[in-house]
Amino acid sequence: MDIRNFKVACSNCNLKELCMPVGLSFQDIEKIDQLVESRKKVKKGEHLFHNGQKFNALYAIRTGVFKTVISSEDGREQVTGFQMAGEVMGLDGIATELHTCDAIALEDAEICLMPFDKLESIAHEVNALQHHVYKIMSREIVNEHNIMMLLGSMKAEEKLAAFILNISQRMKSRGFSASEINLRMSREEIGSYLGLKIETVSRTFTKLEDDGIIKINNKSLVVVDMPRLQSLINARRDC
């Protein structure tokens, strides 16, 4: 990993609306600017942290996409999530002070390193930051619930539709197109996340394309009919 130790100003970052609380005073912004000590580049395929590694920081993703993975005793891997720019990683280590999963870059990425002891100290002075951390943790819990729903009673087509919509909404919140998605993860990784075999993922992508809902070329996906894609999930909610 290439670590660049230089001052990083959160207030000048184009992702600050995603990473930082809103409505801060100038004094509070100055304090939060002290939080990020360095940026770190992580190349595709490299680990940001490992399962069992000592926890000492949170990581805000500036660019790139990561996956989090847990491994069973027999060596099988289960993808537990995909994280993108503007999101914070490392929350899994707060409780036990050890990371409970592996975080791996799916493309060349850059993160901001935030020492947790410094975050706690500044959060005591800036209530909005403390509340923002709670919101991030709450969002993680909601995501866990959504994963449980995906892996539960949903059919393959519904799972994939929910997955595409989730990525679409997260892209939109970052100012990108909601209908044009560059999937950084493989079919196998998507299948691991959704609890589907790779053959089922490929077959379901093909069905959605044959139905005129999406167009897909390798990892480039375009949502052609967003209402129909949403209707696959709405039908489940109406049951």
Output the domain CATH number for residue 96. Answer: 2.60.120.10
∠ at Cα 177 (190, 189), nearest 5°? 10
| Contact (CB, 8 A) for 11 and 33 | yes
* Whether residues 142 and 158 fall in one domain: no
The structural domain count of the chain equals 2
- Give the Cα separation of 205 and 40 in Å (integer): 35
Residue that is last in its domain, among 115, 149, 183: 149
Q: How far apart are CA 107 and CA 89, in angstroms?
A: 16
3-state secondary structure of 172: helix
pLDDT per residue as tens digits for the range 66-82: 999 998 777 788 999 99
Mean pLDDT confidence for 9-16: 59
Helices (H), 79-177: 116-125, 127-150, 156-173
* 32 and 78 assigned to the same domain: yes
What pLDDT band is residue 192 in, cutting at 50, 70 and 90? very high
Contact criterion met (CB below 8 Å) for 89 and 61: yes
Q: 37 and 100 share a domain?
A: yes
* Whether residue 184 sits in one domain with residue 78: no
Residues 205 and 96 in one domain: no
The least confident of 106-115, 136-145, 173-182 is: 136-145
* Structural domain of 128: 2-149
**Residues 136, 173 within the same domain:** no
Distance CA 11, CA 139 (A): 23
Residues 6 and 122 in one domain: yes
234 and 139 within one domain: no
Same domain (yes/no): 211, 137:
no
Residue 146 backbone dihedrals phi, psi, to 5 degrees: -65, -40
